[in-house]
Amino acid sequence: MKSSKKMKSASLILALVLIMVTMVACGGKTQETSTTTSSKETKKHTFAASYFTLNNPHFIDWSKGLKSEIVDKHGDKLIEVDAQLDINKQISDVEDFIQQKVDAIFIAPVDSKGIKTALLSAKKANIPVIIMDVPPQDTDLVTAMVTTDNFMAGKVLGEAMVKNTGGKANVAIIDWSVVQAVVDRTDGFSAAVKASPGIKVVARQDGKASTESALPIMENFLQSNPEINAVFAINDPSAVGALAAIEAAKRTDIKIYSIDGSQDAIKLVKDNKIAGTSAQFPVKMGQVAGDLVYKILNKENVEKWIKVESLFIDQSNYQQYLK
């Protein structure tokens, strides 16, 4: 009798142990699934950006716009490098990004034609490329582009020059013809002054869109073409270099027209140092590009080329844009 009771007790204990083991096993399985799901939901992206120079407030603002979307809003990682106006360095940097298997690459090309090698490598690796500010020649190799409407920027500058000079000026252009964005700007300028034969381009030379390169170019212009009384600088740093040479030569008769709309340039407009600057909105463009990359990763249909409008800032409206 006692033996029977002991056997029943042993069977009951065994049954309880089996139930507990089963519950623990099931609980462990559920926890593992939950952890796996959570890991997928919190997967972070790594993006990379190559700027043709960070020695320019324009691209510092581009960076602010990108970071606000990628880092601040989504908590993802953004690797940023300065190509230092060297296309070979930029290509090497992009190759490094590809080796790191980043999720997408943002590029502001040093050379619209020369960047093709890097674009081909990214395409082969199936990594999306979003162009910043400077369109390449081979647009079929990129996923999307976010730029200023550069033709418009040159056009509103040219229209301002025509208005301010009464359609008569001897113009020097500090150019950068290897960059498509600059070609678009000078094309816009040409379209604006086409109906004003009194506006003549008497000197033109490539710089590298920097203050350091523009200063000696302007010095040479003043020596070789003293009749110059207007300058079209393709960006604000070039305008600053031109201004330094003009002030050193004590030429108060020369008016400088620029493109960028940087705070430094707007201050020069305020102080009557330059005639005006066609504004770009780089923080906004960075935000647009940052938002765009997530749409691309989500396989959404996106516009291939997003152009942000430009307007001319001069004495009449600088107060609205001076911070």
- Give the pLDDT mean for 256-268: 97
- Helix extents (H) in 148-281: 150-165, 180-193, 211-224, 236-248, 263-270
Averaged confidence pLDDT in the chain: 90
- Provide the β-strand partners of residue 232: 173, 257
- Provide the β-strand partners of residue 146: 132, 306
What's the pLDDT score for residue 43? 79
What's the pLDDT score for residue 2? 46
Note the maximum CA span of the chain.
126
Tokens at 315, concatenated: 């004495």
Backbone Cα Rg of the chain: 29
Does the pTM exceed 0.85?
Answer: no
What does 79-132 look like in DSSP terms, one character per residue? EEEE-TT-HHHHHHHHHHHHHTT-SEEEE--SSTTTTHHHHHHHHHTT--EEEE
Residue range 40-95, pLDDT digits in tens: 446 799 999 999 999 999 999 999 999 999 999 999 999 999 999 999 999 999 99
